[in-house]
Structures are given as C-alpha cells and as structure tokens.
C-alpha cells in the first residue's frame, strides 16, 4: 500500500518519498479500498503540518515555489523550453525534466521527520 499526501511543491510525498514516479493500471477486478492513513491531505509536508522546513523553496532555480503557493506557470516556463532543450541537446531525445525541488530535501526518499530540519 502506498501512502501519499500533497506537499508544498505540489509533489506527492509517499512512504518512499517524493522523488519517485507512479503509474496506474486499469483492470476489471474488485479491489477493496485502501484505508485512509491521514487526516489531512497535506499531512506529510513539514511546512503544512509544523510550519518548518520549506527547503524545496530554495531548491527551485526559478523561484516557482513561495511560502504561499507554487506558481505552476513559472515552473512550466522552466520546463519548456529550458529543460526540454537541454535534454534534447545533451541526451539526444525528445524529453524534459526538472525536479531539484524533489531532491536533497527531507522528503526526497521518505516521509520527512522534524529532526531532518534541525
Ligand atoms: S521540502 Fe519540506 S516544505 Fe518542501 S515539500 Fe518537502 S517537507 Fe514540505
Ligand atoms: S520542477 Fe523545477 S522549476 Fe518546477 S518547481 Fe520544481 S525545481 Fe522549480
């Protein structure tokens, strides 16, 4: 079972952290609902629960994340064309990607702990 809640940078914080990829499968089977592990949709983000951390803010190279919100338009303009052009010219395929806000932060590979921000 994967547990996940939203975060300050809009990534999903899961039991294996935020730097991950998820997918979905469509199947004609009965699956019992997964018990809801949280009481709040942002519960695993230290900023929303305890008002601390915010390390993803300074990780963003274009200032798309602030204490009040993530500006998806600013993020998008960095992905296209900046990272897209970089991936194409450096690796030779039609891809894009960013994600400093998901790496080297307390929620990168786990549900973060307060001690990670001390
Ligand atoms: S780095 Fe900190 S503030 Fe940002 S999403 Fe992770 S836990 Fe929340
Ligand atoms: S994906 Fe990149 S540009 Fe978008 S918020 Fe994260 S660090 Fe910033």
Q: What is the pTM of this model?
A: 0.87
Instruction: Report pLDDT for 110.
Output: 95
pLDDT at 86: 95
- Ligand 1: residues within 6 Å at CB? 7-9, 45-47, 53-56, 105-107, 112
- pLDDT per residue as tens, the chain (118 positions): 667 899 999 999 999 999 998 889 999 999 898 888 788 999 999 999 999 999 999 999 999 999 999 999 999 999 999 999 999 999 999 999 899 999 999 999 999 998 887 7
Q: What integer pLDDT is reported at residue 54 of this predicted model? A: 95
Ligand 1 centre to CA of 34 (Å) is: 25
Is the CB–ligand 2 distance for residue 75 below 6 Å? yes
Report CA torsion sign: 80, 22, 43, 54.
Answer: negative
CA of 40 to the centre of ligand 2 (A): 24
Between the CA of 96 and the centroid of ligand 2 the distance, in Å, is 12
HSE-CB at 83 with a 13 A cutoff on CA atoms is 14
43 contacts 36 by C-beta, under 8 angstroms: no
**pLDDT for the residue 117:** 79
- Position in ligand 1 atom list of the atom nearest CA 59: 1
Residue 104, CA distances (Å) to 37, 90, 101 in order: 25, 23, 8
CA distance to 1, 4, 32, 61, 93, per residue, from 7 (Å): 19, 10, 26, 18, 30
Contact call for residues 96 and 80 (beta carbons, < 8 A): yes
Looking at residue 102, its pLDDT comes to: 96
User: Looking up tokens 């894009």, which residue turns up?
Assistant: 96
Closest CA to 107 of 58, 57, 62, 56: 56
Q: Which structure tokens are listed for 92?
A: 């030779």
């Amino acid at each position: 079972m994967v547990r996940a809640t939203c975060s300050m940078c809009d990534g999903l914080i899961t039991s294996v952290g935020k730097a991950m990829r998820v997918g979905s499968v469509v199947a004609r089977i009965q699956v019992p609902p997964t018990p809801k592990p949280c009481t709040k949709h942002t519960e695993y983000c230290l900023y929303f629960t305890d008002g601390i951390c915010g390390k993803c803010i300074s990780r963003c190279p274009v200032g798309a994340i602030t204490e009040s919100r993530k500006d998806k338009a600013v993020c998008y303009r960095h992905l296209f064309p900046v990272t897209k052009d970089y991936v194409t010219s450096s690796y030779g395929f039609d891809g894009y990607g960013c994600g400093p806000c998901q790496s080297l932060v307390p929620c990168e590979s786990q549900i973060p702990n307060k001690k990670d921000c001390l």
